[in-house]
Amino acid sequence: MANVSRAWFNLVYLVLILFALSVALTWASGTDLFAALLINLLGSLQVYYGIVTIQHPLTDPLLLVANLIDTVIFAMLTVILAAWFYEFISGFSIRGRGVRGRLKSMHEHIIVVPYNPFAATLLKEFKGSGIKAVTIATNRRELLPLYKLNELAISGDIKESGTFEAAGISKAKYVIACSDDDLQNALITITAKTANPKVRIITRVTKEDDIPKLDMAGAYKMILPEVTAGEKIGEEILKRIIG
């Protein structure tokens, strides 16, 4: 549950407040407190088994409002549970375990970050040349197409050196920064160098004026896509790596 953002916990807190309000309204209508708790609990879960009986719920304004609140709570609980379930199955992904296992045995590989069309072109070239690569995706949604292509990939925060450590940067030969944002590529370069000062960084550059900045960040080689276009991008990088 560590990946669940603070927003979800705030949502849970709001649900508790709404439930307390719903119970208070039912109790104020003359219903016994225990019965009010039970009624609103079942109402929030949309479970009705005739355990308790509400007298004239649609004619008593307090009960009507409480019933509407229970419906809202049910919708909010559905969203919360769906989000938590997604985080749970993602965190215990069998595929993810397999990737981590394969990463432990890798060395002299290339780390590609982040995943985008530029990176996809490179990965295709690498696979055709038998070069081992690990892709760092910035979110879990990007992992699905990578897994379908049978590519080694993990997801993580590119601002955290731990993400690069998880990609095996201690044994990697190169890191290729593929973002179309030069600032992000500079950040990738700095973070990767923090995780492994000896690793060589090849970075994409979109503005020629940013070359000195990326050089200062620690980039080993820089490539302008406008100069080296299409599939030639992959061929150019292969030449630099092999050479």
Could you tell me the CATH number of the domain that includes residue 37? 1.10.287
As a whole number of Å, the end-to-end CA separation of the chain is: 45
Whether residue 110 is found in the same domain as residue 186: yes
pLDDT of the residue at 35: 83
d(C-alpha 112, C-alpha 201), whole Å: 10
Same domain (yes/no): 100, 87: no
pTM: 0.57
Question: For residue 125, what are the domain limits?
Answer: 95-242
Residues 191, 214 within the same domain: yes
Check residue 178 and give its pLDDT: 92
Q: Which residues of the chain have pLDDT under 70?
A: 1-8, 48-59, 85-101, 226-243
**Are 59 and 119 members of one domain?**
no
At residue 112, what are phi and psi to the nearest 5 degrees? -110, 130
**Cβ atoms 19, 73 nearer than 8 A:** yes
Enumerate residues 6+ apart whose C-beta is below 8 A from 156: 136, 137, 138, 162, 163, 166, 167
Sign of the Cα torsion 115, 138, 103, 219 reads: positive
